[in-house]
Structures are given as structure tokens and as C-alpha cells.
Chains A and B, each alone.
Chain A
Amino acid sequence: AQTVTQSQPEMSVQEAETVTLSCTYDTSESDYYLFWYKQPPSRQMILVIRQEAYKQQNATENRFSVNFQKAAKSFSLKISDSQLGDAAMYFCAFGTGTASKLTFGTGTRLQVTL
């Protein structure tokens, strides 16, 4: 069974600064995907970024990038130039290539201050 651990229940960042959210996972699978989802107060889960395990290059989407360390089973999210709209719950998630089931961490609440 896969597990996903997010050890930071809450984080705070000033507007325009950079913040890194941590995630570790455990799996015996070799083919898998990792995701960061954002859940604002509206409750809708929004995919922020994804990483295929077979790719060594870290994924990047505009201000969002990941640091994927496969051997250490670590998958952190870096948000650059933080904006007020980035405030939300952020969930790290794991999925395999054989099904669409996702395993989520417990989330990190990100506050963005002026």
C-alpha cells in the first residue's frame, strides 16, 4: 500500500516571496505519478502540477515547480512570487499507472500575507 506524508500542517509566506511545501511518500511501485492539488475554500480540487516518476527532470508550471527526489521518495512543491490567490489547502497525491485511484496526504494550509 502507498502512503503519502505531509509534515507541515500550516505554512505562511509573504506576498511575492517563495515557499516550499514538503511531501514524502512510500511505495514499492516503479511506475507512478505524483501530484500537487490545490483546494481553495470553494472546495474544488485543482491540479497544480504533476510529475511522472520515470522522468528525471523536475516539472515546472509557471510559478510552481517541484523537487522530485526519487531515491529519497520526496516530492516538494516550490511556489515562487507568491500571490494572495495562492492561499489554500495543498495536497500531495500519489497515483499508479494501472488505475486512476489517488492516495492523498493530509494537506498543508498555506497562508499568504501582505
Chain B
Amino acid sequence: ETGVTQSPTHLIKTRGQQVTLRCSSQSGHNTVSWYQQALGQGPQFIFQYYREEENGRGNFPPRFSGLQFPNYSSELNVNALELDDSALYLCASSLSLGQPYEQYFGPGTRLTVT
């Protein structure tokens, strides 16, 4: 059974550019959540996907968007990057909805916006 993986590990982008981060969920998990963790802060919920549909969104602007694929892997896209988007982006997968106690995190992608 493979764990949650994320790519790339690190990324440097320029303000105004677009970025795509990827997440492969743990085997058998159909729910993926994305979090943004700014330096020195706890993770903040961005959105969640369940069976390829968005199922809940945190307080993030529309330029943060996502996708979930039939194999339940997921992408986080951020358009028009801003300096404040610099953070660690974590994805977490779970077996299904309503099971916050079974959420497994990936190692994260460190995004730096210059």
C-alpha cells in the first residue's frame, strides 16, 4: 500500500505566473483535501474533492482551483501568483467523506513566489 505522494517537492515561480501541484492519494482513497501552510502557521483548508467533484471550499479566491481524476489523484492550480501564495501546500487523502480521522498527509510541495 503506497502512501500519499506529492510533486514537485519544491517550486519557485514569479509573481503573476501559474502553477500546478500534483497529489497521488493513498490506494483506495476517494477523497482528497488540499491545505496551505504559511510559514509558522497551521495548515488552512483550501478545498476538498470527492469522486471528482468539489465538496467544500475554504476562504480562498477563485484563482485557486483543482481537479480530481478518475484514479482519485488530484491537482491544485493557482493562477496569477502573488507573493503571499508562498507556502507549503499539503494534500491529504481519506477513504471517504465523513472520516476526518482517517486522513493521511503527503510530504507537501514548497512553493516560493518571487
Residues of A that sit less than 8 Å from B by CB: 4, 33, 35, 37, 42-47, 50, 52, 91, 93, 95-107
Q: Which residue of A lies closest to B32 (CB)?
A: A100
B97 within 8 A of A: yes
A44: shortest Cβ distance to chain B, in Å? Answer: 5
Select which of B41, B98, B106, B108 is within 8 A of A100 by beta carbon. Answer: B98
Bound-state Cα–Cα, A93 to B98, Å: 15
B62 within 8 A of A: no
A6: shortest Cβ distance to chain B, in Å? Answer: 8
B99 within 8 A of A: yes
Please, which residues of chain A bring their CB within 8 A of the CB of B86? none
Q: Which residue of A lies closest to B45 (CB)?
A: A101
Select which of A4, A42, A100 is within 8 A of B103 by beta carbon. Answer: A100
